[in-house]
Amino acid sequence: MPGGNTRSTVFREPYPVYAARGRGSRIIDADGVERIDFSNNYTALVHGHAHPRIVAAARRAIEGGSCFGAPTESEIRLAEALSERVPSFEQVRFMNSGTEAVMMAVKAARAFTGRRKIAKCEGAYHGGYDFVEVSVAPGEGQRGPAREPAAVPSGPGTWPSVITDTVILPFNDAAAATRILSAHRRDLAAVVIDPLPNRLGLIPASAEFLSAVARFCKANAVLLISDEVISFRLHPAGAQGKFRYAADLTVLGKLIGGGFPVGAVAGREDIMAVFDPRETGPLVAHAGTLNANPVTMAAGLAALELLTPAAIASLDELGGRCREEIRRAIGASGLPWQVSGMGSLFRIHPIPGPLRDYRSARATPDAAGVLTTIMTGLLNFGVFIDTGGFGCTSTVMDEGNATHLGWALAAALSADAS
Ligand SMILES: Cc1ncc(COP(=O)(O)O)c(C=O)c1O
């Protein structure tokens, strides 16, 4: 296996840590070492590992047959549970990953509008679909002017039309974004927005930016696609409930599968009709052998039922405690670092300046290297976390876990300094 595993995100130098088991807030590696898991598989495990209710739901589903060449009631139940939470979710379709969900939402937008371009923000990650793999982490020499960002390919294999058909917006610059969008308005099918984009820096979108984008979309019949693969956990009605906007289509993944492979597109009935085989209008073929797999659907429903408003409130409170603990540890170290985030999500930055967009949040390669070293060092102090400093709380964590994070970070920082 190239790199020794099957997922670039979880590769670590000199080799990845292999997980053997998970239990509640703990991850146990192949050497038997137990640590507090602040990765929670990049937010997919909102209730930690092997939650008894999720395990029971998945086990019941498997015992009844793990997949069929037919739909099951379980997909209707999860679709209904999602629609009850978010007013804009008039209809739902399931797939197996967030990447697939983004791809299907973009295809739906193209079929519905008859236009081909999409817009996304510089530095925002929306999975591995070609048209959103543009300007995800552009280097300094490639980016172009701040108010007119260049579309930078993800690598040498990028097809040229991907670059011309993906329009790049500067995050949180309402005036520049509106100007860029207006220049492409006749060709634009959709704008893809994550209001708390993790890889960009976990910086919240400003109300001004979001309303400028929403206004543009409405005025020009361009679809607003909300990517809530991570940010859905911010509110019972998802990120759009938290940030107060209504998306035409929303992309979901991670937590709604209860720890099993999942993706979903939810949104306006007239747009979702492109997936309806009975329609004679624009049609998007949407097959997938394991779509709406009953094990995923059952586990996802159990996870969603456990994610009550009270559960979200305590997740968020603990997230706030983690950010405080991180701030304290950074303060004691004297390093010009900071932490961003919202609710149950946090991200450590090895830079001092104000965080506004991708460019202001981008650390130098040296600073990013130090952060990776410290996050790797946390392994020695009982904490498992993403090497880029991204973490989250789960509903099975407690204050002691947050305190431990602060202690471990302080210890890793002073071990590195000595
Ligand atoms: C915001 C966002 N969108 C889409 C994706 C892609 O989801 P998946 O990894 O399930 O393909 C991710 C994955 O991390 C994500 O963070």
Cis bond before residue 14 (omega within 30° of 0):
yes
Q: How confident is the model at residue 108 (pLDDT cuts 50, 70, 90)?
A: very high
The pLDDT value recorded for residue 15 is 84
Whether 229 is in the pocket of ligand 1, judged by its Cβ within 6 Å, is yes
The pLDDT value recorded for residue 14 is 84
Alpha-helical (H) ranges within 64-116 are: 73-85, 98-113
Q: How confident is the model at residue 13 (pLDDT cuts 50, 70, 90)?
A: confident
Whether 123 is in the pocket of ligand 1, judged by its Cβ within 6 Å, is no
Burial 307-341 (b: 16+ CB within 10 A, else e): beeebbeebbebbbbbbebbbebbeebebebbbbb
pLDDT at 252 > cutoff 90: yes
The pLDDT value recorded for residue 113 is 97
Average pLDDT of the residues of the chain: 97
Q: Tell me the per-residue pLDDT of 237-246, one tens digit each, with 9 for 90 and over.
A: 999 999 999 9
Q: How confident is the model at residue 131 (pLDDT cuts 50, 70, 90)?
A: very high
Q: How confident is the model at residue 52 (pLDDT cuts 50, 70, 90)?
A: very high
Cβ atoms of 120 and 134 within 8 Å: the answer is yes
Q: Is 227 one of the catalytic residues? A: yes
The pLDDT value recorded for residue 3 is 87
Per mean pLDDT, which range of 7-11, 147-151, 357-361, 393-397 is the poorest? Answer: 7-11
The pLDDT value recorded for residue 111 is 96
Tell me the whole-structure pTM to 2 decimals.
0.97
The pLDDT value recorded for residue 416 is 77
The pLDDT value recorded for residue 404 is 98
Atom 2 in ligand 1: residue holding the nearest Cα: 126
Q: Is 129 one of the catalytic residues? A: no
Q: Which of 113, 112, 109 is nearest to 132 (CA)?
A: 109
Whether 395 is in the pocket of ligand 1, judged by its Cβ within 6 Å, is no
Q: Is 218 one of the catalytic residues? A: no
